[in-house]
Structure 1
């Protein structure tokens, strides 16, 4: 793969992360946010200045936090996520307090020595799609014959 003349690999990576519309969030092993791109600002409402250094709890609904941290700790112990390579829709919290549905995928991050150093999440707002699909499911369920 070629790079633009004069760009380092790090500069190119940073340009890509700044350009992508999806939220890209990197957190250390303790769950403190270390990277928060413009897409994350758009999806979750927090600026990078507000988010970096904070716990992931700022976007996790309170009633889901225990399950999230249990899963996070298990992923760290395993060194990988159980969800594999796919994404899933989950709930999140916007800065405004509004509940969001986000289509999110996860990965564990390792350094050049192959030591686990954190986690990566890529997300996009799926609230509108989720609500439309839910409405359709309810309409279909209303059409189903009673047993």
Structure 2
């Protein structure tokens, strides 16, 4: 297999969500893992804002950070750090996700888009909450 075949198979088969959003936060890439986790088919997500997976109460904070990252080209989450946040599914259910990002720069070095690799950690998050409550009792 050559590099392109490996990349295609990885993109198609990875269980984690791979979502790429452009400078304006419009979804340009949405893989099968994103479909499985968030419930939106690729055609329902492509061309739409990241608002479709961002809880309404967190959107203002999300966009302030996103716009600052795009404007400055700097992010504190670009070195493989995991970010844990709530997200929403198509059916309105709130889930917990962890993700890391990969800044995507053009040939001129300017930040053009952000790729996020996301995993649903709702079950683990809920278990930790139950354990903390049990320890406090």
TM-score bin (small chain)? over 0.9
Residues 81 and 107 in structure 1, CA contact (< 8 A), matched pair in contact too: no
- State the partner residue of 1:145: none
| Residues 75, 82 of structure 1: 8 Å contact kept | no
**Alignment of 1:64 onto 2:58:** yes
TM-score when normalising by structure 2:
0.92
Q: Conserved in 2, the CA contact under 8 Å of 1:80 and 1:107? A: no
Unaligned stretches of 5+ residues in structure 1:
143-147
Higher relative contact order (CA 8 A, sep 6+): 2
Show the counterpart of 1:86.
Answer: 81
Gaps of 5+ in 2: none
CA distance in 2, matches of 1:121, 1:80: 15
> Where does residue 38 of structure 1 map in the other structure?
32
Q: Where does residue 67 of structure 2 map in the other structure?
A: 73
State how far apart, in whole Å, the 2-side matches of 1:74 and 1:122 are.
20
Give 3-state SS (helix, strand or coil) of 2:117's partner: strand
Q: Output one character per residue of 1:86-142: Cα deviation in whole Å (capped at 9) or x when no partner.
A: 112210000000000011112221123322111111111101100000111111122
RMSD over aligned CA atoms reads 1.3
Please tell me whether residue 107 in structure 1 is matched to residue 102 in structure 2: yes
Following superposition of structure 1 onto structure 2, how do residues 9-48 of structure 1 map, counting pairs within 5 Å?
9-48=3-42
- TM-superposition CA deviations, 1:12-31 (whole Å, max 9, x none): 32221111110000000000
**SS at 1:18 equivalent:** helix
**Secondary structure of the equivalent of 1:121?**
strand
Residue from 111, 114, 126 that aligns with 1:116: 111
More displaced 10-residue stretch of structure 1: 112-121 or 66-75: 112-121
3-state SS of paired residue (1:72): helix
